[in-house]
């Protein structure tokens, strides 16, 4: 299942199929497998602020 999570602060979207390679997150990484200390690459919001 492809996750799409959106930062509620700035609107940045994380797509699990793409990952975030510049943050060290490989393509295909599910949202629940991302470290708890993940921060939005645009605004720095914590993982708990994504929906």
Interface residue list for Zn ion (CB under 5 A): 7, 9-10, 12, 40, 42-43, 45
DSSP structure class, residue 39: B
Q: CB-wise, 25 or 40, nearer to Zn ion?
A: 40
Question: What is the distance between the alpha carbons of residues 42 and 16, in angstroms, rounded to a whole number?
Answer: 17
* Cβ distance to Zn ion smaller for residue 10 or 30: 10
Q: What are phi and psi of 24, to 5 degrees?
A: 85, 15
Q: Least distance in Å: CB of 45 to Zn ion?
A: 4
The token duo for 44 is 């720095």
Q: How far is the CB of 6 from Zn ion (least distance, A)?
A: 9
């Amino acid at each position: 299942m492809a996750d799409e999570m959106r930062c509620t602060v700035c609107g940045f979207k994380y797509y699990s199929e793409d990952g975030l390679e510049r943050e060290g997150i490989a393509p295909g990484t599910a949202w629940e497998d991302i470290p708890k200390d993940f921060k939005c690459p645009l605004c720095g919001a914590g993982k708990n602020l994504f929906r």
